[in-house]
Amino acid sequence: MIISVASGKGGTGKTTVATNLALSLSHDVTLLDCDVEEPNAQLFIKAPFHSRETVYTFIPEIDDQRCTGCGACADICRFNALAVIGSTVMVFPELCHSCGGCLEVCKEDAIIENKRELGFIETGRKNNVTFSQGVLRVGEAMSPPLIRAVRQKSDEESCTIIDAPPGTSCPVITSMKNTDFVLLVTEPTPFGLHDLSLAVEAVKLLKIPCGLVINRSDIGNKEVHNYAEKEGIPILLEIPFDRKIAEIYSRGQMLVEELPDWQQAFEKLYRDILSILESEQVTP
């Protein structure tokens, strides 16, 4: 089972939920930090890293001896990473999305597979949690290929929890796509509701079951609760605006380790997700 923990905006407590959920479980868990532009799950997990690997992505290089300047490669590229100037094909690596379309359409076999460094993946383990995080190279604009590489660290023999990037853009879709359940984390404020509604629409397009965690649930208003009821989204956990919780978070500690009641709350959250998925399977 793969659970993606996502949010429509940053600062809602998404990483708090993902890390505490992972550490609350007694069986083997794989935790993947796919917020590769600003990974911070390690601030809480503190897993000793035992491996690091550099991740590359495909970019085209033109063999001038073979290239006829037909422009087929430039025509198929939606991101203008290739351009024909006279009889010369120019490559703009920063615009390339590594789809490989240019390789497919070049009849002269004039496209050479080159590569660009995206960043790296670090992997470690704490207790029963195997943790991997992707770190995007400074200046690199294309995070989805690195996110896909991080997701390959998922273990089919254990539950995988993904800490997705905030928002609803391509990196978030890459983190949520082909997962079994999306756990959306929000806060009961007008901004929280607005961005939650965008995230819900993205999840609907992907046709993935979802549930809601409301952080700082006793501030703001009840509009998020009303929205969840209207959309038929179950509220699986509410975390209050509490000084003890804030102090634990500020020290980089874990709720499930410092407050035993929250260990039980996150265990119940996991069981509730299982129940929803089981009911989805038996529904005609």
pLDDT of residue 221: 86
Same domain flag for 19 and 68: no
CATH of the domain at 86: 3.30.70.20
- Round to whole Å and give the CA distance between 277 and 284: 13
Pair 246, 135 in one domain: yes
Could you tell me if 197 and 266 lie in one domain? yes
Classify residue 114: in a domain, yes or no.
no
Classify residue 131: in a domain, yes or no. Answer: yes
140, 54 contact by CB (below 8 A):
no
Within 8 A by CB and 6+ apart from 184, the residues are 6, 7, 8, 196, 199, 200, 203, 210, 211, 212, 213, 233
100 lies in the same domain as 148: no
Report which of 199, 183, 201, 202 is spatially closest to residue 191, judged by C-alpha positions. Answer: 199
Look up the CATH number of the domain holding residue 12.
3.40.50.300
Q: Are residues 86 and 29 in the same domain?
A: no
Residue 83's pLDDT is what? 96
User: CA-to-CA distance for 101 and 42, rounded, in angstroms?
Assistant: 37
Per-residue model confidence (pLDDT) at position 234? 96
Q: Identify whether residues 89 and 162 lie together within a single domain.
A: no
**Residue 33 included in any domain:** yes
- Answer whether 251's CB lies under 8 Å from 218's CB: no
For tokens 């590569």, the residue is 115
State which H helix or E strand residue 157 sits in.
none
pLDDT at 87 (0 to 100): 85
Do residues 23 and 127 touch, judged by C-beta distance below 8 A? yes
Q: Are strands 2-7 and 82-85 parallel, antiparallel or unpaired?
A: unpaired
Residue 189, number of CB atoms within 10 A of its CB: 18
Q: Are residues 77 and 168 in the same domain?
A: no
pLDDT at 284: 40
Both 258 and 223 in one domain: the answer is yes
Query: Is-contact 276 234, C-beta < 8 A?
Result: yes
pTM of the entire predicted model: 0.90
Position 281 scores a pLDDT of 74
pLDDT at 282: 54
SS3 state at 13: coil
Of 109, 130, 145, which residue is a domain's last? 109
Structural domain includes residue 211: yes
One domain for residues 259 and 233: yes
Task: State whether 96 and 193 are in the same domain.
Answer: no
CB 220 within 8 A of CB 192: yes
Q: Which of 43, 78, 109 represents a domain boundary (last residue)? A: 109
Residue ranges for the chain with pLDDT beneath 70: 282-284
Print the domain residue range for 176.
Answer: 2-55+119-282
Residue 10 has what pLDDT?
Answer: 82
CB contact at 8 A, 74 and 89: yes
Same domain, 221 and 273: yes
pLDDT at res. 9: 83
Clarify whether residues 242 and 198 are in a common domain. Answer: yes
Q: How many domains does the chain have?
A: 2
pLDDT at 41: 95
Residues in the chain: 284
Residue 165 lies in a domain: yes
